[in-house]
Amino acid sequence: MQRATAPYILILPSFLLAAAIILWPLKEIVSLSLHDVNRFGMLRDFIGLEHFRVLFADPDFIAATWRTLVWTAAVVLGTLIVSVPIALILNEDFYGRGFARILIMLPWAISLTMTAIVWRWALNGESGMLNSALRGLGLINTNIQWLAEASTAFPMQILIGILVSVPFTVTIFLGGLSSVPDDLYEAAATEGAGSWDQFRLITLPLLRPFINIAFVLNTIYVFNSFPIIWATTQGGPANSTDILVTYLYKVGFRIGRLGEAAAVSLIMFAILLVFTIIYVRLAMREAKA
Amino acid sequence: MTIKQKLCLLAGASLIAFSTSAFAESTVRVTIAEYSKGTGPYFEEAARAFEAANPDTKIQIEVVPWDNLQQKLTTDISAGANADLSIIGTRWLLDYVKESIVAPLDEHITPDFKARFIDTFLSPSVMNGKVYGLPIAASARAMYYNKDIFAKAGIDTPPATWADFKTAAEKIKQLGGETYGFGLQGKEIETDVYFYYGMWSNGGEIVKDGKSGLDSQAAIDTAKLYKSFIDGGLTQPGVTSYSREDVQNLFKQGKVATVITAPFLSNQIKAEAPNLKYGVAPIPAGPTGDKGTYGVTDSIVLFENSKNKEAAWKFLDFLFTTEQRTKFDKVEGFLPVNAEESRDPYFADNADLKVFTSLLPNARFAPVIPGWEDIAQTTSNAIQKIYLGEGEPEATLKEAAAKINETLK
């Protein structure tokens, strides 16, 4: 009896804390999303799922949802693909490795908003550094207006997203690589395995749990990431680079429809929750097999 | 230390404690929008000067960047943690009045106080016959033009009509190089307003008889006109990537020959591009001689839930003395809202400001309608689509007008 209750008593304080900072706001948001709310957050009539109906009838919301999925998938996969080789190189012993590591990690030390604003300047059509660099190299003759339309702005935003996600991901991978014992490679080398086989058969499987965690954490961060898109285009022109967070901000704080904004945030929460559960399930099944 | 000394100290200490509680009994919190880097220091200085004259009141200034002001006010008000006074865009005022968030000021306003103001600037803050805010900042819009570029292209006077303007822009294009006649804003705050300049010249209105004017012939003509500037290479390329600040910067760099903006650009040019030769002219007129400028005021409001209304009012009274207004408008480059202030030689003899004040009789203020930001966003989106060539002007504007009419209902 005593043994059965003790764990619950011990986790009770942290449970209460978590409940206070997670469950209570959640309850508030649910209630906002089901009521008619004025622009200052005062509740009026209960209107059921009306806010959700309005959202799903809004083509901008549907477009922003799809764009969020593209944005998340592109940034997360791009980050993983870029980070694995970087981590492998930084794990090798070479002259100037410390310096190289600092260079790769440096973007992490700068706030995301600052990075995004610097990129906004760099991407400026008439006085941006990117255009003048490309012209200096003779690659283009006329300035490219990077942020003028989604077809150039959105890919650049994804590239910036990858750039800022790399340091964190590389750090996780470096931790993973340092836990791979060297004698595995020595044994493999004596058996005649080339470096590609060593990577495929030893490094990648042992790095697997680290890739998983980097995948899940990056997905959550990137899905909810606001500064890059807001600082460069504010989701424009004409909502063509909006993702769900920027859409949410506009609906909530620009236009002042707090009820709809609450509904958007619940939908985002649900998407992330479903995604994470599926992913954790898959990862666990794999681990058992 | 003797007991007597201790007693004395104690008495002294309690006296200090008593006096602080007796004198500094009210704190007035003021939320200030940051117009420039001079805004915060100006208000801090004003607060200290006020405190020196009124030792029983403490003024606490909170400076917020413009972009975050709406968000801060929304969250503060919904949590009941708002300041006593705040600057807001007068175009938002109706939403605040409807929800009884702000208090009418009439009981404090004496005829003398009212007489301080230039009426044009006070009237936008009057709703249902009551004064709900005082115009803390006022500006109008006019066209800045680069005299050197105009001279090089052989143009002597700033364009009087949009047709003249187009001819001028074509001449500037023929100069070759990367200089463009019309600096056109197509991104972020006031993208819609930049469109209204042309729309007003063509005789259009933002809202007429409770309906959006975006589907009027004037609006459609303006969209086609602006689009012809874009397609003809008469604007900077990629207009949808240029915010108001970006276009102003192009003007300072001499890359665009004109920009339509507020008086504060003069101060910026003085500081950042002192060698730029520029002039200020009215916004070109339309085919029938119609013209208009955008008059903007920001209001400082008193919240209904303030517990220090008396002290807050006293601070307002202080801020709107001629001396304080003159200081503030010089720092920011705004138009004087105070009649006596406008006779100050700094304003009265300033060539740039004279053009702005001469336009005031034609100034359009944001209409008193709910959901101004909502309408601004719908309008900006529609215009961006037209600028990008993603939407045919007439159909896009009609669709936007229908959406705005829903908001206006």
What is the CATH number for B214? 3.40.190.10
Confidence of residue A185 (pLDDT cuts 50, 70, 90): confident
Tally Cβ neighbours within 10 Å of residue B56.
12
pLDDT at B19: 46
CA A244 from chain centre, in angstroms, equals 13
- Domain assignment present for residue B186? The answer is yes
Task: Please say whether the dihedral angle defined by the alpha carbons of residues B399, B400, B406 and B409, taken in this order, is positive or negative.
Answer: negative
Q: Among A280-284, B257-261, B283-287, where is mean pLDDT lowest? A: A280-284
To probe the interface with B, which of A40, A149, A232 has the most B CB atoms within 10 Å?
Answer: A40
Q: For residues B44 and B319, give the distance between their C-alpha atoms in angstroms, rounded to a whole number.
A: 12
Q: Which residue of A has its CA nearest to B180?
A: A126
* B213-261 confidence digits (pLDDT tens): 999 999 999 999 999 999 999 999 999 999 999 999 999 999 999 999 9
Closest CA to A209 of A179, A186, A181, A230: A179
To probe the interface with B, which of A152, A246, A253 has the most B CB atoms within 10 Å?
Answer: A253
Compute the mean pLDDT over every residue in chain B, rounded to the nearest whole number: 90
Q: Is the pLDDT of residue A3 over 90?
A: no
Mark whether B357 and B386 lie in a shared domain: no
Mark whether B62 and B25 lie in a shared domain: yes
Taking an 8 Å cut-off on Cβ atoms, the answer to whether A254 and B385 are in contact is no
3-state SS class at B335: coil
- The first and second tokens of residue B372, run together, are 């101004």
- The first and second tokens of residue B315, run together, are 């601070």
Query: H/E element holding B17?
Result: helix B3-23
Taking an 8 Å cut-off on Cβ atoms, the answer to whether B390 and A146 are in contact is no
To probe the interface with B, which of A28, A29, A38, A39 has the most B CB atoms within 10 Å?
Answer: A39
pLDDT at B16: 47
Domain tally, chain B: 2
Residues of chain A in contact with residue B236, where contact means CB-CB under 8 angstroms, are 125-126
To probe the interface with B, which of A36, A38, A120, A126 has the most B CB atoms within 10 Å?
Answer: A126
Residues of chain A in contact with residue B239, where contact means CB-CB under 8 angstroms, are 148
B252 within 8 A of B272, measured Cβ to Cβ = yes
Q: For residues A247 and A93, give the distance between their C-alpha atoms in angstroms, rounded to a whole number.
A: 46
Residues of chain A in contact with residue B187, where contact means CB-CB under 8 angstroms, are 147, 233-234, 236-237
Mark whether B342 and B263 lie in a shared domain: no
Mark whether B253 and B308 lie in a shared domain: no
| The Cα angle at residue B119 between residues B307 and B209, in degrees rounded to 5 | 95
Nearest to A127 among B187, B253, B387 (CB): B253
ipTM over 0.90: no
Mark whether B18 and B150 lie in a shared domain: no
Confidence of residue A199 (pLDDT cuts 50, 70, 90): confident
Taking an 8 Å cut-off on Cβ atoms, the answer to whether B74 and A253 are in contact is yes
Mark whether B271 and B375 lie in a shared domain: yes
- Domain assignment present for residue B290? The answer is no
Q: For residues A145 and A122, give the distance between their C-alpha atoms in angstroms, rounded to a whole number.
A: 11
Mark whether B192 and B126 lie in a shared domain: no
Q: Is the pLDDT of residue B45 over 90?
A: yes
Helices (H), B294-350: 309-319, 322-332, 339-342, 345-348
Q: Is the pLDDT of residue A38 over 80?
A: yes
Residues of chain A in contact with residue B381, where contact means CB-CB under 8 angstroms, are 236-239
Q: Which residue of A has its CA nearest to B73?
A: A40
- Domain assignment present for residue B77? The answer is yes
Four-CA torsion A115, A116, A121, A124, nearest 10 degrees: 140
pLDDT at A5: 87
* A54-109 confidence digits (pLDDT tens): 999 999 999 999 999 999 999 999 999 999 999 999 988 889 888 998 888 888 88
Compute the mean pLDDT over every residue in chain A, rounded to the nearest whole number: 90
Give the length of chain B: 409
Nearest to A145 among B75, B238, B255 (CB): B238
| The Cα angle at residue B293 between residues B291 and B294, in degrees rounded to 5 | 145
Query: Among residues of chain B, what percentage have pLDDT more than 90?
Result: 76
Mean pLDDT for the stretch of residues A117-134: 92
Mark whether B150 and B254 lie in a shared domain: yes
Helices (H), B81-118: 93-98, 111-115
CB of B272 within 8 Å of a chain A CB? The answer is no
Q: What is the DSSP letter of B238?
A: -
CB of A39 within 8 Å of a chain B CB? The answer is yes
Mark whether B23 and B124 lie in a shared domain: yes
pLDDT at A209: 87
List CB contacts of A93: < 8 A, sequence separation 6 or more.
none
- Domain assignment present for residue B399? The answer is yes
- Domain assignment present for residue B234? The answer is yes
Mean pLDDT for the stretch of residues B16-21: 46
Using CB atoms and an 8 Å cut-off, which of residues 70-99 of chain B contact chain A? 70-71, 74-75, 77-79, 95, 99
For chains A and B, count residue pairs whose Cβ atoms are closer than 8 Å: 103
Nearest to B188 among A125, A148, A234 (CB): A234
Give the length of chain A: 289
> Hey, what domains does chain A have and what are their CATH numbers?
59-288 (1.10.3720.10)
pLDDT at B15: 46
Mean pLDDT for the stretch of residues B326-337: 92
Residues of chain A in contact with residue B79, where contact means CB-CB under 8 angstroms, are 41
Taking an 8 Å cut-off on Cβ atoms, the answer to whether A125 and B236 are in contact is yes
Mark whether B63 and B190 lie in a shared domain: no
- Domain assignment present for residue B287? The answer is no
Query: H/E element holding B277?
Result: none
pLDDT at B17: 47
Domain with B322, as residue range(s), is 3-139+296-365
Mark whether B10 and B123 lie in a shared domain: yes
- Domain assignment present for residue B312? The answer is yes
Query: Which amino acid is present at B19?
Result: S
Mark whether B307 and B351 lie in a shared domain: yes
Please list the residues that pair with B29 across neighbouring strands: B60
Query: Which amino acid is present at B142?
Result: A
* B60-78 confidence digits (pLDDT tens): 999 999 888 988 999 999 8
- Domain assignment present for residue B236? The answer is yes
Q: Which residue of B has its CA nearest to A239?
A: B381
Q: Is the pLDDT of residue B316 over 90?
A: yes
Residues of chain A in contact with residue B74, where contact means CB-CB under 8 angstroms, are 39-41, 252-253, 256, 258
Q: Is the pLDDT of residue A189 over 90?
A: no
Taking an 8 Å cut-off on Cβ atoms, the answer to whether A148 and B74 are in contact is no
3-state SS class at B369: coil
3-state SS class at A225: coil
Helices (H), chain A: 2-18, 24-33, 50-56, 59-91, 97-109, 112-122, 129-136, 150-178, 182-190, 195-198, 204-223, 227-232, 244-249, 258-288
